[in-house]
Every structure is written in structure tokens, then in C-alpha cells.
Amino acid sequence: MSLYKATFALRPELEEEEKNSTVKEVQDFVVSQNGKIENVESGIQKFAFEVDKTNKGFFVSIVFEVDASKVHGIHQFLIKKRDIIRAMLTRQEIHLKNKDKGGKKDE
């Protein structure tokens, strides 16, 4: 399994309960694809340009582990959600804590 990061923007006018519900739906979908959630971060940010007649959005980033064959389905799920106005998936590099510059494991 590989590590991925899904970053998406929700409509800023959504109520807190609607935002939480959408984020939970995304997390549940990732888990249903045999994924494992590693981290979730969120907050309101301004867009560099107007998107769907708004200049800000509620951004969410979810880091998760999943099989590469499931990534396309997760991306399709994100872009079909009505409350998500932009979505992006990226593969993350895994940095091992116990490695030195030579690539050997510290003991």
C-alpha cells in the first residue's frame, strides 16, 4: 500500500454539521476501499482566483494509506460530491525516522 494525500475544498457556506458530515463520508469511503486514515487537517483559505463564484473555501487534507488500484475510485468519489468544489490527490513519500544519510538503519 502507498501513502496518498487528498486535498479538497468544500463550499464555504456549508454549516459546520454539513462540513463534518462530508469529511466523514470521504473518510468512510477511503476505509471502505481498505484504506487507513493517517491524518486529517482542515481550515478556511482564500483561493488564488474565483471558483464557482466564491473566493474562499473550507479546505480539508486527508493523508491515508491505500492500494494504488483504489486511487482512481477515490478521486472519482471526491469530484462527484456536490459539496466539494475542487479536489486533488497526490502520492506522498514515506520518510523513515530511523534512516541515516547512507540509507542504513540506525541501531
Rounded to whole angstroms, the Cα distance separating 34 from 16 reads 28
Rounded to whole angstroms, the Cα distance separating 107 from 38 reads 26
Q: Which homologous superfamily is 2-91 in?
A: Ribosomal protein S6/Translation elongation factor EF1B (3.30.70.60)
Start-to-end CA span in the chain (Å): 26
Angle between helices 71-80 and 16-32 (to 10 degrees): 160
The domain limits of the chain are: 2-91
Q: For residue 75, give the C-alpha cell.
A: 478521486
Q: What confidence tens digit (pLDDT) does each residue in 66-100 have?
A: 999 999 999 999 999 999 988 999 999 876 554 45
Rounded to whole angstroms, the Cα distance separating 46 from 59 reads 9
Torsion of CA 95, 101, 105, 107, to 10 degrees: -120
The whole-number pLDDT of residue 95 equals: 61
Q: What confidence tens digit (pLDDT) does each residue in 6-55 have?
A: 999 998 888 999 999 999 999 999 999 999 999 999 988 877 777 777 77
Q: pTM for the whole thing? A: 0.79
Between 107 and 22, residue with greater pLDDT:
22
